[in-house]
Amino acid sequence: MAIIGGGPAGMLLSEILHRAGIESVVLEQRSRAYVLSRIRAGVLEPGTVEVLRQNGLGERMDREGHAHDGMRIVWAGRASFFIDVKKHVGKRFMAYGQTNIQEDLFAAADRRKAVVLDEAEDVRPVDVASDKPHVTFRHRGASMRLDCDFIAGCDGFHGVSRRAIPPAVLREYEKVYPFGWLGILSETPPLPEIVYANHPRGFALASMRSPTLSRYYIQVPLEDNTGNWPDERFWTELKARYPRELADAIVTGPSIEKSIAPLRSYVAEPMRHGRLFLAGDAAHIVPPTGAKGLNLAVSDVFYLSRALEAFYGRGSSALLDGYSDMALRRVWNSVRISWWLTNLLHRFPGMSEFDQRAQEFELQYVSSSHHAEAALAEQYAGMPFEEAA
Ligand code: RFL
Ligand code: PHB
């Protein structure tokens, strides 16, 4: 297997395949230090936690991660409400940073002496629709060619793999939102729960990485930049979006990371072309509101590795042939709930009084209906993986 991209999708695929006796080479364009410096996801669905545990990656997560029963939503001037995932789904999810998962994956790869070529340049999947695909690239100044049975495109939204699917075959579905999230990481104790806020000043989110590391986000205009947001201004704005008792409980301190991410929904179909299989952000992007991106990368990799194991173990291509459809069913569930939560919780520029009122009453409904809460809890926890059948 050639795996393009050494983010969580590519490294996890390589790990699971190795455990099944299938060898791979990972080609990553950045340095390891750069990959580890990206601060991203923090919330793991129960299914993701299970996949990591089953593949020998659960030890540190279970020690350092923080299990949660649900998440809280607050909105201007009203009482907050708790979406109880544990009660409705019987499972807990986990706050554990993507950076930690990436470290755990590199450590596991080092232990098995995996071939992970970083700073690989000009990586190109070639002849993906033939029986003899290969990948060309440059590494430490040398031109290289990697012949393989299959190519996994795990190179994120800006990667090259998706572009190897001919335009006549590729269908793209996209929605760009008119705002971004400004996120900060700070060495301060977090609030005990993950709390999403809808406020006239805009959306806010309180999350965590560890008992001493907090992650907060606020909605900002797309054209904004971090230079406009010295720490003091960030904390004042964040607190203004939470009710008094929560604002008072937020512990402030210097930020150790600050960045703005645009929000987008995007799906590429199909996720397979010939011997090329896409997984993770290479095939789809969701706005972070549902905390789904990394979890989808893990479910894609779960389906793809299972299909490859069936191919090499039993000579059956049925799961490889069904990979795109099966992965996309789960992808669209997460795309839909992320879009819905984004609409529910943000203030959109140009929102009419009607839109505003409809949003308020939708929040009212979710907070007062057992059925609405159960539906949100089920989707926040993530739909179960499909059987191989
Ligand atoms: P990645 O992580 O982008 O990794 C792709 C890797 O491919 C490399 N690459 C190439 N390599 C070789 N040749 C090329 N031409 C290449 N082009 C790119 C890149 O350097 C990189 O190392 O994709 P992957 O592995 O699919 O993983 C996806 C996740 O990273 C992403 O979905 C999540 O971070 C999204 N996300 C969240 N997901 C969750 O499940 N829960 C969350 O709480 C959550 N919060 C978030 C998020 C993403 C955020 N940002 C900044 C986008 C919060 C934020 C703010
Ligand atoms: C995070 O902790 O980074 C986080 C939590 C929940 C989200 C998105 C990001 O919906």
Residue 39 has what pLDDT?
82
Beta bridge partners of 154: none
Residue 305 has what pLDDT?
98
Residues with a CB atom less than 6 Å from ligand 2: 41-43, 194, 205, 207, 215, 288-289, 291
What is the rounded distance in angstroms from the CA atom of residue 366 to the CA atom of residue 38?
Answer: 34
> What whole-number percentage of the chain has pLDDT above 90?
96
Ligand 1 and 42: CB distance under 6 A: yes
Residue 311 has what pLDDT?
98
Residue 335 has what pLDDT?
98
What is the rounded distance in angstroms from the CA atom of residue 199 to the CA atom of residue 163?
Answer: 40
pLDDT (average), residues 191-195: 96
Full DSSP string of 187-248: SSPPPSS-EEEE-TT--EEEEEEETTEEEEEEEE-TT--GGG--HHHHHHHHHHTS-HHHHH
Which positions are catalytic?
Answer: 68, 196, 288, 292, 380
Residue 78 has what pLDDT?
79
Q: How far is CA 235 from the centre of its chain?
A: 26
Atom of ligand 1 nearest to the CA of 9: 25
Residue 270 has what pLDDT?
98
Residue from 39, 155, 162 to probe ligand 1 pocket by mutation (most atoms less than 8 Å from CB): 155
Q: Calculate the average pLDDT of the chain.
A: 96
Residue 368 has what pLDDT?
94
Task: Give the model confidence (pLDDT) of 43-100 as tens digits.
Answer: 999 999 999 999 999 999 999 999 999 999 999 867 899 999 999 999 999 999 999 9
Give the pLDDT band (50/70/90) at residue 163.
Answer: very high
Let me know the angle formed at the C-alpha of 243 by 238 and 246, rounded to the nearest 5 degrees.
75
**Ligand with smallest separation from the Cα of 4:** 1
Domain boundaries, the chain: 2-43+95-175+264-372, 180-262
Residue 68 has what pLDDT?
95
Give the pLDDT band (50/70/90) at residue 203.
Answer: very high
Ligand 1 and 290: CB distance under 6 A: no
Ligand 1 and 41: CB distance under 6 A: yes
Nearest CA to ligand 2 atom 2: 42
Given a cut of 80, whether residue 144 has pLDDT beyond it is yes
CATH class of 180-262: alpha beta
What is the rounded distance in angstroms from the CA atom of residue 380 to the CA atom of residue 75?
Answer: 19
Give the pLDDT band (50/70/90) at residue 41.
Answer: confident
Cα(293) to centroid(ligand 1), Å:
8
Atom of ligand 2 nearest to the CA of 289: 10
Ligand 1 and 280: CB distance under 6 A: yes
Question: Coil, strand or helix: which one is 299?
Answer: helix
pLDDT (average), residues 346-375: 95
Fold of the domain spanning 2-43+95-175+264-372:
FAD/NAD(P)-binding domain (3.50.50)
Cα(35) to centroid(ligand 1), Å:
9
Residue 40 has what pLDDT?
86
pLDDT (average), residues 149-155: 98
